[in-house]
Chain A
Amino acid sequence: SQQGEEDPQALSIQEGENATMNCSYKTSINNLQWYRQNSGRGLVHLILIRSNEREKHSGRLRVTLDTSKKSSSLLITASRAADTASYFCATRHFDYKLSFGAGTTVTVRA
């Protein structure tokens, strides 16, 4: 069964606004990763945060991790039309597999 669950399922924002999505998981993790999927394409790795980290930044992306609440959030600042995609969190536990959530679909309106 899926470990990560994203919230909300869908998000529509105006260009220039920030987009925030959340991921919750059930059991202890080694790391948590976020991926983006553009329509009809494969997933692309965006950012990874380890279990002993609380926040990571990469360009316009900011990820937080709260292991006590078993949750993570992904913030995309100053959104662009090109950010329109589905975003997935994936949890790595203590082997070499990932468990993916069902994703958040983000639409950025011009």
Chain B
Amino acid sequence: DAGITQSPRHKVTETGTPVTLRCHQTENHRYMYWYRQDPGHGLRLIHYSYGVKDTDKGEVSDGYSVSRSKTEDFLLTLESATSSQTSVYFCAISESVQGASYEQYFGPGTRLTVT
């Protein structure tokens, strides 16, 4: 988890409220990713970023938005939380040097419960 922090680590919120999760890195890596992890599904990519202000959708992006105004921060927002968004959310980073293998380094996760 070195170099990557996520906040908050745990959150309980009510259906319909907005929620923002933060990922912060100190590695100066170009690529950042948000995943959700649910039993039986492994990790599913929500959104990713390939640079400041450059983001794109992953396979489960509905109901989520992201922003990246600085290299070190990648925010995930649930505009109006639903119970189906109860999950564990992981942020990951990878580097982009020439010939990089794009192995990813993960944060500790945020456990979100929507009641």
Report if A45 contacts B (CB, 8 A): yes
Taking CB atoms, residues of chain A closer than 8 Å to B43 are 43, 88, 100
The interface centre, meaning the residue of B58, B59, B103 with most chain A CB atoms within 10 A of its CB, is: B103
For B, the interface residue count at a CB cutoff of 8 angstroms equals 28
The interface centre, meaning the residue of B42, B50, B58 with most chain A CB atoms within 10 A of its CB, is: B42
The interface centre, meaning the residue of A44, A88, A99, A100 with most chain B CB atoms within 10 A of its CB, is: A100
Report if A69 contacts B (CB, 8 A): no
Q: Please report the C-alpha to C-alpha distance between residue A33 and residue B4 in the assembled complex, in whole angstroms.
A: 20
Taking CB atoms, residues of chain A closer than 8 Å to B41 are 2, 102
Taking CB atoms, residues of chain B closer than 8 Å to A101 are 42
Type the 1/0 row for B26-54, where 1 means its CB is closer than 8 Å to any CB of A.
Answer: 00000101010000111111001010000
Residues of A that sit less than 8 Å from B by CB: 1-2, 31, 33, 40-45, 48, 50, 88, 90, 92, 96-103
Residues of B that sit less than 8 Å from A by CB: 1, 4, 31, 33, 35, 40-45, 48, 50, 58-59, 90, 92, 94, 96, 101-109
A97-B102, A102-B41 given. 19 additional CB < 8 A pairs?
Answer: A2-B41, A2-B42, A31-B101, A31-B102, A43-B92, A44-B106, A45-B103, A50-B101, A92-B101, A96-B31, A96-B48, A96-B94, A96-B96, A96-B102, A97-B45, A98-B102, A100-B42, A100-B43, A103-B42
